[in-house]
Structure 1
């Protein structure tokens, strides 16, 4: 898959570095870093182009084509992250020039990425036979049966999925592994912070890690979701941990049952 990244702002930078998995990307743990991401694959070779748009663009752009660079490479997937609403509206032309088959335009701030613009973009792209998703926030992205976008999720990016390991008594997190990472890379940091912490305090552990990474979701109330996008992102990672905890509990129960059966069976 060939990926073209068009972005403005901090989230775009994080997504790019997470795809590349550069050694100096995640520095959140400081001196306590144990290089937990080292074994994760880099997708740098999939990135065929990157263009950063400045943040100080005019409020209204009458001729967006003036700001879109010439010679953008052909690609399969465009990640349009945090770019000006008028540039988003011009993406169908970019799709034609780059022969893109899919577009993901996450909404981390409904003022910068209006729902109406995303819906219009969806209609135009789907009428062209181009896949589209506008996840709000980016870490809510799941597989939807769209081949190119599903392939991106299969790389390990989207709604977080974790593998949780707990103590036999279910009172402590022994460790956590990342199966699917939030596109910004925060899931690895949350997983690291969970290790060797008390399970009853998991909500505080997750919230502290998520905020200090930090999450780039808007703190303004979003009319569509009835809460802030920052809070929604926090609920998403908490639910991912809770799902992992439930799986860990079932595994502990299974192992306890096996040990019980072995102990009660007559010796040969």
Structure 2
């Protein structure tokens, strides 16, 4: 089974760790953010680097761009994949993804298979939501999350709609993401907050809409 490492320098990543560790061997690593906007040299603690090197996939929720870039440059050739969950600006994204095994999704609940065995093993469990809905008549009696957002939002919505009427179900699923709450906008500095919230809401609405349609078929 693959190993996952989650690294952060701030408040993000804990929820993903709590969910991902239920499916994969997972390490949570907290780093201190560099002080100041302009840093001549970034030093990552040796013990942290050794832990990160043991992973197949690193998920970084680091907010400081210089620290993110340093981690990517030091570790991209030591691990199978690095998924950058927090980044700012398309230029920075292009700088990160110049390495073949770095991905920087718009939202962490937007991950899908890319044909790589290691990446796909992780994304089989975490990424763009897929749900299986069991209905009796017009009532939802059970929801199985086949693939969910790393933060746990999909499971949150799934529990909420059990026992509810199917009418308006998909729209409710999208709206409930706002109540989790979705943190995606806070990791996209200088971006359109509502756009990111809407993206996460739409992905969940579509997943539950598809699940409901399949349950009727």
| TM-score, normalized by the shorter chain, greater than 0.5 | yes
1:51 aligns with 2:21: no
1:119 aligns with 2:131: no
Post-superposition offset of 1:147:
2.6
| Aligned position for 1:194 | 161
| Cα distance change on mapping 1:57 and 1:239 into 2, 3 Å | farther
Q: Indicate if the aligned counterparts of 2:143 and 2:158 stay in contact, CA closer than 8 A.
A: yes
| Aligned position for 1:17 | 18
Distance 1:138 1:227 in 2: 16
Counterpart pick for 1:106 among 76, 80, 85:
85
| Aligned position for 2:196 | 229
* Partner SS for 2:7: strand
Q: Could you list the runs of 5+ residues in structure 2 that have no partner in the other structure?
A: none
Report which stretch shifted further, 87-96 or 241-250: 87-96
Moved over 6 A (4+): none
What does the per-residue CA deviation read over 1:45-64, in whole Å, with 9 as the maximum and x for residues that have no partner? x22x4322346842333312
| Aligned position for 1:3 | 4
Post-superposition offset of 1:208:
4.4
Counterpart pick for 1:81 among 61, 85, 101:
61
Q: CA RMSD, aligned part only? A: 2.4
What does the per-residue CA deviation read over 1:157-201, in whole Å, with 9 as the maximum and x for residues that have no partner? 111110011223xx3222211111111011111111111112223
Q: Indicate if the aligned counterparts of 1:76 and 1:101 stay in contact, CA closer than 8 A.
A: yes
Q: Normalising by structure 1, what TM-score?
A: 0.70
| Aligned position for 2:135 | 166
Q: Normalising by structure 2, what TM-score?
A: 0.85
Distance 2:10 2:167 in 1: 36
Post-superposition offset of 1:227:
5.5
Q: Could you list the runs of 5+ residues in structure 1 that have no partner in the other structure?
A: 22-41, 251-268
Distance 1:19 1:203 in 2: 25
Q: Indicate if the aligned counterparts of 1:53 and 1:83 stay in contact, CA closer than 8 A.
A: no
Post-superposition offset of 1:153:
0.9
Distance 2:211 2:190 in 1: 29
Distance 1:240 1:87 in 2: 35
* Partner SS for 1:173: strand
Post-superposition offset of 1:221:
8.0
Post-superposition offset of 1:218:
1.0
